[in-house]
Structure 1
């Protein structure tokens, strides 16, 4: 399955992001950012299903929780950054 990883600036923002998404029915899981995308040391990200990206971005923009960066995680576990 394909997922998106939304990089957040802190664990607190990842928790707020996940909570905002869960409130509207979007499955969201908090995890440590993989080393290949972690520029600042210990960032966290929120993992969502591929089909939920558009709705998630609308919800997060309204809540003032826009992610720092977004990566597509393909079935082969490879990561590719997507533009915001």
Structure 2
């Protein structure tokens, strides 16, 4: 099972995509969305407030998630694979 986060493929989410890539996530186009995926059991995305606006950061999960949220704060998004 792959851990995946989906964000709308629009310029506003580019900083989130760059943050995911820096955390080792792969990026793939799927329709109007970008799939940010990882084979790792857990991924932590760290928000750079200079690059990611607050509204965009808190909208990061609106496209969907294959996995579970461990923690979501103003500075970090900690995701993990679903337990099987």
TM-score category of the 2 structures, normalised to the smaller one: 0.3 to 0.5
TM-score by length of 2: 0.47
Structure number with higher strand proportion: 2
TM-score by length of 1: 0.47
